[in-house]
Amino acid sequence: MGPGYKILKMEDKNRTSWIYFSFFVALAFLLYFGAVIAVEPFGANYTNEISSTAQPDAPQSIPAQAGNVTQLDIFGYTTTQSWQGYYGNVTGTIILADSYDKVLYNWSLAAPEGEVYASVNGSGEIDWGNVACFNMDNHLALETLYNISTDDVDGVNETFKTGNSHDPFYTAGAFFDTGTCASTQIFDASGQGNDNSFEEVLLTDASSPVQTIFASLLEEEDIVGFDGNYYDFEMIVLENGHGTDTAMTPYYFYVELQ
């Protein structure tokens, strides 16, 4: 019995070791692949860039006559020195692929839903797993960064407000319910902002108090935009054009399709 008993114990020991080994391999597999399957926004490519700006009105002349006083009600406009606008359409596919971009299958999207993101932070510089609503308590520091005065009518808190009711959306697996973040509504064909029409949300990954991610929520169907044409998105981003500052800021674009 002695030798047989020892052999039985050795077999049990080997079996137990194999079970533990299999468990840790499975755990490592789940941890590794659980991390890589989390969906994050991908870098977006663009084509057909067309830029323009408002043209000044021609001045009107008014005759002056010595001894007269004349009441004038004057209306005029000037372009903002704090914001850049972007608008356009989105096409793409949802893919099933490996890490070498070898596609096993894809689903073409005629009218994609999701978000377009713009940030001064490039590839690898955004912690998508830590994305949250921008803390509007930091809006003064953000305005200082872009040389915006506290009494400017086109400031950050005058443009993005927490009272707006943006649609619910997901970013990198995180859910943002209706009206959670500071948001704005870019103008559509009506000449004003409207619910469910070109909504934009202010996000951050909290890597610094002023780190910002501008998120434009895509609608499933095209909407008639500010100029009478159909677009998938319209959005604005901060840019300092005050005084003699003519330097341009590169923005990096990302897209998350659903």
Domain spans, the chain = 80-257
Structure-model confidence comparison of residues 101 and 188, the more confident one: 188
The distance between the two most distant Cα atoms of the chain, rounded to a whole number of Å, is 131
The contacts of residue 62 (CB under 8 Å, 6+ apart) are 70, 72
Q: How do residues 141-169 score in pLDDT, each as one tens digit?
A: 999 999 999 999 999 999 999 988 999 99
What is the pLDDT of the chain when averaged over all its residues? 84
Task: Give 121-137 pLDDT, tens digit per residue.
Answer: 998 999 999 999 999 99
pLDDT at residue 77 above 70? yes
| Higher pLDDT, residue 125 or 72 | 125
AA letter at 87:
Y
Question: Is the pLDDT at 75 greater than 50, yes or no?
Answer: yes
Residue range 27-65, pLDDT digits in tens: 343 333 344 445 788 877 777 677 777 777 788 888 898
d(CA 79, CA 83): 9
Residue ranges with strand state E in the chain: 42-43, 83-88, 92-97, 103-109, 114-119, 132-133, 169-171, 174-176, 183-185, 199-204, 213-218, 223-224, 230-231, 233-238, 252-257
Q: For residue 72, give every residue at least 6 positions away whose Cβ sits within 8 Å of its Cβ, in sequence order, or none.
A: 62
Write down the pLDDT at residue 1.
47
> pLDDT at position 38, please?
57
Q: What is the pLDDT of residues 172-227, one digit of tens each?
A: 999 999 999 999 999 999 999 998 899 999 999 999 999 999 999 998 777 899 99
Cα distances (angstroms) measured from residue 165 to each of 28, 65, 82? 42, 54, 24
Range of weakest confidence among 1-15, 85-99, 121-135, 163-177: 1-15
